Amino acid sequence: MYRYDDIDQTLVAERVDEFREQTRRFLAGELSEEEFRPLRLRNGLYIQRHAPMLRIAIPYGLLSSVQLRKLGDIAHRYDRDYGHFTTRQNLQLNWPALASVPDILAELATVQMHAIQTSGNCVRNVTADHLAGVAPDELDDPRPYCEIIRQWASLHPEFTYLPRKFKIAVTGSPADRAASEVHDVGLHMRRDAAGQIGFEVLVGGGLGRAPAIGQVIRDFLPVSDLLAYLEAILRVYNRYGRRDNIHKARIKVLVKSLGAAKFREEVEAEWQAARADAPHLPQAEVARVRAFFAPPPYESLTDLDATQDREPAFRAWYRYNTRPHRVPGYRAVFVSLKAHGRPPGDMTSAQMASLAILADEVSFGLIRVAHDQNLLLADVRQIDLYTTWRALSGEGLATANIGMLTDMIACPGLDFCSLANAGTISVARDIQKRFDDLDYLYDLGEIEIKMSGCMNACGHHHVGHIGILGVEKHGEEWYQITLGGSVNGFTALGEVIGPSVRQHAVPETLERIIDVYRERREEGERLIDTYRRIGMAPFKERVYASRAQAA
């Protein structure tokens, strides 16, 4: 993985000093709450329901065992012994004391980590495919480009205060495991006729209010122009994006109001006009960064049947929680953070410490964060899979449900977040309770449930096969259900099935949807496929039939 040089390390250290001074001024009463807000937000610090929330950047989801150990240690010493992994591959601490945040940042800096621009109206953490570098279907590894973009975007002086937050995702695979089409900018790696790597550029995707799918504004962007082109997009956005209404300030609204063609014209004109002045990305710099992402020293192995003579529980785990690897003899292993009875994405300090040890033993000391709130050991020898499973099981990290209904995404919701309208954690728990039988889940196959506690859609509910959105009605928590959303290579936004339901009715509602699927599915169809074939009507009819009719 990338290692900081003097520039990176100095910048992070100086950022800690700056934030320490800003925090001191706030605590001393020299800065008002209003003045401190934009300053702390630029460093991932929210004031939440119970305490501050600190969002720590995990650039493109890649962690070393040293870093994971440090995160566990920080959660233990400064928080309540756990952290929450988010859909943007970051880690959130829910209970740090405001006065200790500068110390936490200083601790992070010792392992080349930070919280720079994890919130606020600026370029946020750059995300990537969690299988980058190991997926068999990949054109090229997106992570060097993510790292380059991370550096370019960090404390970018011109884009200090954009109209709204700005999220970039890069994918090197057609399967698009980075949900790039629902980002402000999505970069798809491509190869031109001469075999050169470049990017297809999408702009204006996003969830939240008025969700939109990104539109292609350039088919092929040469690598050397990557930063110049991003700068042109950001400059057009910074100049013309709306600032009068927070709900209309994302770039998707600008792209929509201008039209993609006109927006593209503006960007291309700006790109050309800035030629002499814009940052150039020389080949040597790309090579320098790429070298950090060279494949680890794989052994020369052959594929084997790891499940032979093993118990059914291991075989189920192998089937659902591991993925093919481009190198023979290896598998990528999901670390499930979706144990039934636990909030999705939560991980304890003890689990982090154990996983760090395991990663050192079986996966070159590296861990990845997936946007669906699980972790990954990407390079496990097939011969080590059984012991890996045993170790993960011992830590409660081997629930064999990846891709299944209970592998749901959920934001922290009303329990923690001051933006939320409704709880998510208790709803997730009710769903896990109702669908507790793994064999039943396996029969249902791949179902993505994504849940958000408010319209901001941190839980990506629009693109869940089943989406659940918490809404507030007359002071009560209700849930609006959508069907038919998807990402991963075919992006579609879900449709609302009908009137929202009360919390206690959510599991029952899901069960009715599932019943329709089980009755109507054809051979090999997933829920999403059946939905696409038969449409909303049968589902809607069943969900809103009276209890007696449904039975």
Partner 1 sequence: MRRVLKRREIRADDWVHWEEDPAAGEGAKPLIVPLKELRSHPEVWSARQGALGVCIALTDRVEDLAPELARCALIAVQFPAPTEGRGYTQGRLLRGRYGFAGELRAVGAAVKRDLIFALARCGFDAFEVAPGEDLEACARALHRYSVAYQPGAPGALALPQRFTA
Residues in touch with partner 1 (CB under 8 A): 6-7, 10-11, 14, 18, 22, 35, 38-39, 121, 151-152, 154-163, 227, 235, 238-239, 243, 273-274, 276-281, 285
Decide whether 41 or 375 has the Cβ nearer to partner 1. Answer: 41
> Exposed/middle/buried for 137, CB within 10 Å: 0-12, 13-18, 19+?
middle
- Under the phi-then-psi rule, with left for phi > 0, alpha for psi from -120 to 50, and beta for the rest, what region is 505? alpha
Decide whether 243 or 434 has the Cβ nearer to partner 1. Answer: 243
Of 374, 377, 378, 375, the closest CA to residue 406 belongs to 374
Contacts of 165 (CB under 8 A, 6+ apart): 119, 120, 121, 122, 124, 184, 250
Decide whether 159 or 479 has the Cβ nearer to partner 1. Answer: 159
Q: How far is the CB of 290 from partner 1 (least distance, A)?
A: 15
Instruction: Work out the angle at residue 102's Cα, subtended by the Cα atoms of residues 2 and 62, and round it to the nearest 5 degrees.
Output: 25
Q: How far is the CB of 236 from partner 1 (least distance, A)?
A: 9
Decide whether 152 or 386 has the Cβ nearer to partner 1. Answer: 152
Q: How far is the CB of 248 from partner 1 (least distance, A)?
A: 15
Task: Give the span between the Cα atoms of 531 and 357, in whole angstroms.
Answer: 43
Task: Give the span between the Cα atoms of 406 and 507, in whole angstroms.
Answer: 12
Of 244, 56, 256, the closest CA to residue 163 belongs to 244
Q: How far is the CB of 35 from partner 1 (least distance, A)?
A: 7
In this structure, the chain runs to a length of 551
Decide whether 245 or 308 has the Cβ nearer to partner 1. Answer: 245
Query: DSSP states of 417-445 as a string?
Result: -SS-SS-SHHHHHHHHHHT--HHHHHHH-
Q: How far is the CB of 31 from partner 1 (least distance, A)?
A: 9
Q: How far is the CB of 98 from partner 1 (least distance, A)?
A: 17
* Amino acid (one-letter) located at 218: R
Q: How far is the CB of 439 from partner 1 (least distance, A)?
A: 52
Of 435, 427, 367, the closest CA to residue 397 belongs to 367
Decide whether 194 or 284 has the Cβ nearer to partner 1. Answer: 284
* Cβ contacts of 380-384, under 8 Å, gap ≥ 24: 380/322, 380/330, 380/331, 380/332, 380/333, 381/299, 381/301, 381/329, 381/330, 382/301, 382/303, 382/304, 382/306, 382/329, 382/330, 382/331, 383/301, 383/304, 383/306, 383/329
Measured N-to-C along each axis, helices 6-27 and 101-110 cross at an angle, to the nearest 10 degrees, of 170
Decide whether 137 or 285 has the Cβ nearer to partner 1. Answer: 285
Q: How far is the CB of 110 from partner 1 (least distance, A)?
A: 18
Phi, psi of 477 (to 5 degrees): -90, 120
Q: Parallel, antiparallel, or unpaired for β 449-452 and 466-473?
A: parallel
Decide whether 18 or 446 has the Cβ nearer to partner 1. Answer: 18
Q: How far is the CB of 121 from partner 1 (least distance, A)?
A: 6
Decide whether 19 or 364 has the Cβ nearer to partner 1. Answer: 19
Beta bridge partners of 376: 334, 368
Decide whether 6 or 309 has the Cβ nearer to partner 1. Answer: 6
Q: How far is the CB of 393 from partner 1 (least distance, A)?
A: 43
Q: How far is the CB of 362 from partner 1 (least distance, A)?
A: 35
Query: DSSP states of 231-272 as a string?
Result: HHHHHHHHHHS--S-GGG-SHHHHHHHH-HHHHHHHHHHHHH
Decide whether 158 or 443 has the Cβ nearer to partner 1. Answer: 158
